[in-house]
Structure 1
Amino acid sequence: MQLPWPLRDELHARRLARARDGDGEAFRALYRDLYPDVVRFVARRVSARADAEDLAARVFVAFVERLGDYDRERGSVRGWLLTFARNAVIDHLRKARATAAPELLDLLPSDAVGPEGGLLQREQLDQLAALVRELPADARELLALRFADGLRHREIAEVLGLQEAAVKQRVSRVLRDLRARLRPAAGKKGAESALA
């Protein structure tokens, strides 16, 4: 059973404090708990698996080197670590001169029933994907952080260096805009449910 986020945040902060004081087991526990989040975050943004694994390793090297810089008042350990991951991805993409956007829609689960339901859902998701691709890069990143990476508004604020209220407002505005632009067809409800 996984702990709720407030308790996990507290546990991570305590483990980091112990790791900072030289407790290797505390760091290993942090690594085991946070590594999957970092790998998922990086893998959604970097297409080559080897590059994603390399970047995740670099993130943890930076994490170890900067353990003493963590400020609990500024946010969670997870948010702080994902900031390293975001910066590593940006540097990687900049070096590769690639312009890759996170593919949020490939991560949505399918609950379609039967061939007709599957076709209808695919059509709705294709329409939503086209709308998402038209969004500015910062709006796509907000959606990816919120829905693909499953970050809370506070964590997104930490990663992007924004206020939590600003993140809530921006995510809400992007979703409202997407809902308004969806084709008013019979299948609209299914595409909107993907945004809920």
Structure 2
Amino acid sequence: MALPWPLRDRLLARRALAARAGDEAAMRALYRELYPEIARFVGRRVRSRADAEDLVSRVFFTLVERLDDFDPKKGNLRGWLFRIARNAIIDHFRKQRPTVAFDGLGELLPAEVDDPLSELIERERLGHVVRQLEAQPTEIRELLALRYADGLRHKEIAAMTGLSESAVKQRVSRAVRELRTQVARISEKGGADVAVG
């Protein structure tokens, strides 16, 4: 069973302070605790597995190198480390156009499909949602990915992006509302755009 967020944040902060004081076991515990999340976060944004592994290594190297910069009074360690990961990804893509994977799109669509025609219609709807997401500004795509694909809390997203928590909530809510409206329009058409033949 996972710890509730406030307890987990305090535990990570204590481990970070211990690691900063030279406790190698605390540093290993931080790595074990945070590696899966950081690897998933980076892996969803970087297509090459080798590049993703390299970036994750750099993130944890930066953690070790800059642990003295972490201040638990200014934010939580998890958010701070995700910000380091985000900056590493941005640096990686400076010469390329970034793409964001949205694995959690299915929640915007109705749940079950029973027959091939329904499945075809659902795929068409999902394709429409993906096109709508791709049409969003980069900032909105990133906020949605951080919230739904990576499961970050609004507070953590705010710490990563430099936006206020209320601005993050508002932008994510507005984008989801707009996407749901688009999906509802497609549903009202009954998948009329899908050619059956």
Report the TM range for the smaller structure's normalisation. 0.7 to 0.9
The one-letter code of the counterpart of 2:18 is R
CA-to-partner distance for each residue in 1:55-78, whole Å, 9 max, x for gaps? 000000000011111111221100
Query: Alpha-carbon deviations, 1:70-91, whole Å to 9, x = none?
Result: 1112211000000000000000
List alignment gaps of at least 5 residues for structure 1: 190-196
Matches within 5 A, 1:51-130: 51-94=51-94, 97-104=95-102, 106-108=103-105, 112-114=112-114, 115-130=116-131
Gaps of 5+ in 2: 191-197
Q: Deviation at 1:120?
A: 2.9
Code of the residue aligned with 1:101 in structure 2: it is T
Q: Which has the larger radius of gyration?
A: 2
Cα distance in 2, alignment partners of residues 90 and 176 from structure 1: 28
Alignment correspondent of 2:20: 20
Deviation of 1:177 after TM superposition, in Å, equals: 2.1
Distance 1:9 1:188 in 2: 46
- The CA deviation at 1:186 is 3.3
Aligned to 2:149: 148
CA shift, 1:188, in A, is 8.3
CA contact (8 A) 2:125 2:186 kept: no
**3-state SS in 1 of match to 2:144:** helix
Structure 1 length normalisation: TM-score? 0.88
Matched, 1:139 2:137: no
C-alpha distance in 2, partners of 1:183/1:66? 47
Query: 1:143-168 CA distances to partner (integer Å, 9 max, x unpaired)?
Result: 00000010000000011011111111
TM-score (norm 2): 0.88
Structure 1, 166-175 or 53-62: larger mean CA deviation: 166-175
Maintained 8 Å contact 1:83/1:158: yes
The question of 1:165 aligning with 2:163 is answered: no
Q: Displacement, 1:116?
A: 3.9
Number of equivalenced pairs? 186
Q: Give the residue type in structure 2 aligned to 1:29.
A: A
1-side partners of 2:188 and 2:122: how far apart? 8
Q: Percent identity?
A: 54
User: What is the rounded CA distance, in whole Å, between the counterparts of 1:46 and 1:138 in structure 2?
Assistant: 17
Determine the structure 2 residue equivalent to 1:10.
Answer: 10
Contact residue 158 and residue 168 of structure 2 kept, 8 A: yes
